[in-house]
Structure 1
Amino acid sequence: MNRQLNDLSVPSSGSAQGQKPVSQDGVKGAVSPSPAVRFITIDADDAGQRLDNHLCRVLKGVPKTRVYRIIRKGEVRVNKKRSTADYRLQEGDLLRVPPVRMAEKNEPNKPPASMVEQLEQSVLYEDSKLMVINKPSGLAVHGGSGISCGVIEALRQIRPNEKGLELVHRLDRDTSGCLMVAKKRSMLRYLHAQLQGDGISKIYNALVIGRWPARKQLVNAPLQKNTLRSGERMVRVHVDGKTSRTRYQVLQRLGDATLVEASPLTGRTHQIRVHCLHAGHAILGDEKYGRDEDNRQFRGYGLRRLFLHAARLQFQLPDGEILKIEAPLPDDLQKVLKRLGND
């Protein structure tokens, strides 16, 4: 993909006459770069990626704080000039990557055998540029915050020959269902553009507390992220928040609960969960936004986690083909519905 060239030492023929050597960057007095310095020519697949994100891929094992530091200090150059972390790389850009000592040389944490088996059996669709999996509940989509290996890290180890695997979007850890993973940068850019508009239809199934009114088909309420003193991230409806809209349709009434279909028209963090709460019908099994007494009541029906499932995706591929993908409701959630229906 990328073409990587080692720095070549510049002859210092002038040194004998007392002249200072000149580096390849043309800076007088600088020492010639180490052979470990790399020049990378950005190709079409990597064009559009932020500089910091690209460096994190190139410098695997180097902490992000170190990556930002070498950018700030000007050790990283784009077309022989300083750049900022948020610069979007362009095709043909020449990226200078300095030699950086790796934080550690240990192999990345291997995903548990159970996770590998789950992911290998969860592929719903795959071609040369895109993979869609039926993400199991309980798996984080990426590592961090005490999680050593998420779905994307595991997929990269399971598919070592796929060098460009990137999450197209995210699902909460407890949410199951359709998750898109791009295998090429060109597909990642294309799908991000579709997500910015209305090019991708995403349908979720959610079991909410109470009787959802059939006439309530749209929740239009701005959402704002907040961080509590404990460090927990919460989202709330607030007038100063970002525009957020979700369509709803009643699928089935089951005693004190309603199975609804939710279609997010915008892509905010925890959007469906907070819009359900705002409508007065929190999603059952939601320990962050739901009521403890409701969750305790439905544990009696076997509900042990958030009842939110990304059931369907529909969008147009770059070649014009309409792709429709469905993820069946997991067995644990089907059993809850069956028990409610028999009650």
Structure 2
Amino acid sequence: MTETSSPQQVSFHTVAADYAGQRIDNYLLAQLKGVPKSLVYRIVRKGEVRVNKKRVKPDYKLQPGDLVRIPPVRVAEPNALPSAKLDRVQALQDQILYEDDVLMVLNKPSGLAVHGGSGLQFGLIESLRALRPDANHLELVHRLDRETSGCILISKRRSALRSLHEQLREKTMDKQYLALVRGQWQPHVKFVAAPLQKNTLQSGERMVRVDAEGKVAETRFRMLESYSQCCLVEASPITGRTHQIRVHALHAGHPIAQDPKYGDEEFSQAMAQLGLHRLFLHAHKLVFAHPQTGEKLTVNAPLDNELRATLKRLGSKKFS
């Protein structure tokens, strides 16, 4: 990558082969460390970021040789990372499920955003950079909603990020989630294909709905356990749209327990009486090829205490 820049001037970046396939929003978040995520999306939405002199959407995938125009933005000082001594940051050390020289898989707690911004001082990636100050290329490979817990993949080298992004594009990476949903999932409903349209409300909140004009979205579902008023399902997203599993579950008539955006209030209140006060959506398994060796890696994330206790109260033996 070559670049010309000045703090208060437009900068131009020529994309090197290492960054091929990376989404422009992720590229900007990496280049503009310390800039709130909301501001990054705003400058893209307003057309202040250009690729080859053209406006692009946040999901545009960079190509070698692309010329990226970045407007002047105020970047926080490098020491804006959270203190590695903070309890919330230190606690992430115990959530690392797998780590080697090129990647890390972590069991993300519910309630922790993957990025800072939108009123949040710091998120998962900023916390990990504080924990690993010598790791200069820590990047999110994919995302999880703030309320969702479980496996999240972090790259530690550009070459690893390219390989893992390619697996996502080619749909060879397998991500499996556990969700507690209202009612009894019909065993014959194994696949939901419903296009999704993302909307941003005036408040800035993102909402997604099924819409024929939306983007293709596909999720596999499998029922695991049945209870009196709900059931536990395994969901495997084939595509990676925002809030995909949550909206597809709702579309199938089975909203997820304690979903603040797409849930059923009566069902969530019943689950609250069982002690569940968070979204019951957990990325419990991640299967992918190691970017260096090609070896198949399977990483499992255990349920947290609240989810385990809820299943136990419902009568599950398998996940107690």
TM-score interval, normalised by the smaller of the two chains: 0.7 to 0.9
User: Residue 320 of structure 1 aligns with which residue?
Assistant: 294
1:175–1:308 Cα contact (<8 Å) kept: yes
1:241 deviates by: 1.2
Q: Structure 1 CA distance, aligned partners of 2:249 and 2:101?
A: 37
SS of match in other structure, 2:80:
coil
1:118 deviates by: 2.0
Q: Deviations over 1:46-95 (max 9, x none)?
A: 56657886576456557759998xx9799xxx9xxx8678694748x999
SS of match in other structure, 1:294:
helix
Structure 1 unaligned residues grouped into runs of 5+: 8-32
Q: Structure 1 CA distance, aligned partners of 2:87 and 2:142?
A: 24
Q: Structure 1 CA distance, aligned partners of 2:254 and 2:105?
A: 30
Spell out structure 1 runs of 4+ moving beyond 3 A.
38-68, 71-74, 82-91, 93-98, 100-106
Q: Aligned in 2, Cα 1:313/1:50: closer, same or farther, shift over 3 Å?
A: closer
Q: Deviations over 1:250-291 (max 9, x none)?
A: 111121110011111111111110111011110001011112
TM-score normalized by the length of structure 2: 0.81
TM-score normalized by the length of structure 1: 0.76
Q: Aligned in 2, Cα 1:83/1:302: closer, same or farther, shift over 3 Å?
A: same
1:108 aligns with 2:83: no
Q: Aligned in 2, Cα 1:238/1:126: closer, same or farther, shift over 3 Å?
A: same
Q: Structure 1 CA distance, aligned partners of 2:173 and 2:20?
A: 23
SS of match in other structure, 2:90:
helix
Q: Aligned in 2, Cα 1:49/1:327: closer, same or farther, shift over 3 Å?
A: closer
Q: Structure 1 CA distance, aligned partners of 2:110 and 2:12?
A: 42
User: Residue 133 of structure 1 aligns with which residue?
Assistant: 106
Q: What amino acid does structure 1 have at the position aligned with 2:288?
A: F
Q: 1:337 aligns with which of 302, 311, 314?
A: 311
RMSD (CA atoms): 3.7
Q: Aligned in 2, Cα 1:282/1:72: closer, same or farther, shift over 3 Å?
A: closer
1:230 deviates by: 3.5
1:221 aligns with 2:204: no
SS of match in other structure, 2:88:
helix
1:296 deviates by: 0.8
SS of match in other structure, 1:157:
helix
SS of match in other structure, 1:107:
helix
Q: Which is further off, 224-233 or 130-139?
A: 224-233
Q: Structure 2 CA distance, aligned partners of 1:73 and 1:314?
A: 35
Task: Provide the aligned length of Structure 1 versus Structure 2.
Answer: 304
Q: What amino acid does structure 2 have at the position aligned with 1:110?
A: P
Q: What amino acid does structure 2 have at the position aligned with 1:200?
A: M
Q: What amino acid does structure 2 have at the position aligned with 1:234?
A: M
User: Residue 276 of structure 1 aligns with which residue?
Assistant: 249
1:175–1:310 Cα contact (<8 Å) kept: yes
> Mapping of 1:157-236 within 5 angstroms?
157-236=130-209
Q: Structure 2 CA distance, aligned partners of 1:232 and 1:134?
A: 25
* Higher RCO by CA contacts (8 Å cutoff, separation 6 or greater): 2
1:252 aligns with 2:255: no
